[in-house]
Amino acid sequence: MCKTVATGGPVMYSQSIIEEATSASRTLLNEIESKVLLSEAGIPVVETKLATSKQEAVAMSKKAGFPVVLKIVSPEITHKSDVGGVKLGLKTSKQVEAAYEEILSAVKQKYPRAVIDGVSVQKMARPGTEVIVGMTKDLQFGPVLMFGLGGILVELLKDVSFRIVPLEREDAREMIREIKGYPMFEGFRGREPVDTSVLEEILLKVSKFVDDHPEIKELDLNPIFSYKDGAVTVDARIILEGDAVNQT
């Protein structure tokens, strides 16, 4: 997917993002960069913008529609919630202004020397069953895809399945059905059922994305909110190979 930019020519967003990161010797892509790459690969994500001031955050929030979520954007901070870098369910401009200041204050207190790009703004997604899709590289087998229950449950339950990239549709189908939490997708105890065919498509698209970008060392889509009528990636992280950075 190409997009015409102001410089006058078609530029592959994914390529320009990766090139910019490697030229700056960065291996960690921020949430916004990661979501752009995933969106181009056909993976559903919540649209996310970068605000560098309270005024921008308010304007973006109004455009996105309340309630919104604000999150710190820094190449040095991966666990944003742990440092007070996330504010959920903001319903007014005043709440956005206050949250913006609170996020920066909390992060600067814990990481006074951290580089801060700004604060991301996104519409708060409708709650759903949380799942995770991840990828790491095995020294012997190469890229390995992971699927499981997401959010904090992935660390608590470790209910996940694995397959080697590239995936076939049957691989994706089996990954989803292998986890112990699969009954949740069928509407366990009155929960909304999940359209697992959408999750299969996400797994297949992530597999192709990873296959097409060998410079990617690791990625996490967590959480993905899954519904009876779709799914959307709420947060994402991509890490590049160190060798790719060192060669630039």
pLDDT score of 174 more than 50: yes
Q: What number is the average pLDDT over the span 174-192? A: 92
pLDDT score of 15 more than 60: yes
Q: Which amino acid is at 170?
A: E
Spatial CB neighbours of 99, under 8 Å, sequence gap ≥ 6 = 70, 87, 90
Q: Are strands 129-138 and 118-123 parallel, antiparallel or unpaired?
A: unpaired
Both structure tokens of 56? 């921008």
pLDDT score of 46 more than 80: yes
Q: pLDDT for 189-212, tens place per residue? A: 888 999 999 999 999 999 999 999
Q: In the listed set 86, 102, 124, which residue is the last one of a domain according to the structure? A: 124
Predicted model pTM: 0.88
CATH of the domain at 233: 3.30.470.20
Same-domain status, 166 and 240: yes
Q: Residue 99's domain spans which residues?
A: 47-124
Q: What is the pLDDT of residue 53?
A: 97
Same-domain status, 191 and 120: no
Same-domain status, 111 and 132: no
Same-domain status, 35 and 144: yes
Q: In the listed set 124, 151, 170, which residue is the last one of a domain according to the structure? A: 124
pLDDT score of 226 more than 70: yes
Same-domain status, 204 and 95: no
Q: What is the pLDDT of residue 234?
A: 96
The domain tally of the chain equals 2
Q: In the listed set 124, 146, 179, which residue is the last one of a domain according to the structure? A: 124
CB 62 within 8 A of CB 81: no
CB 198 within 8 A of CB 231: yes
Q: pLDDT for 76-128, tens place per residue? A: 888 899 999 999 999 999 999 999 999 999 999 999 999 999 999 999 999 99
pLDDT score of 75 more than 90: no
Same-domain status, 248 and 179: yes
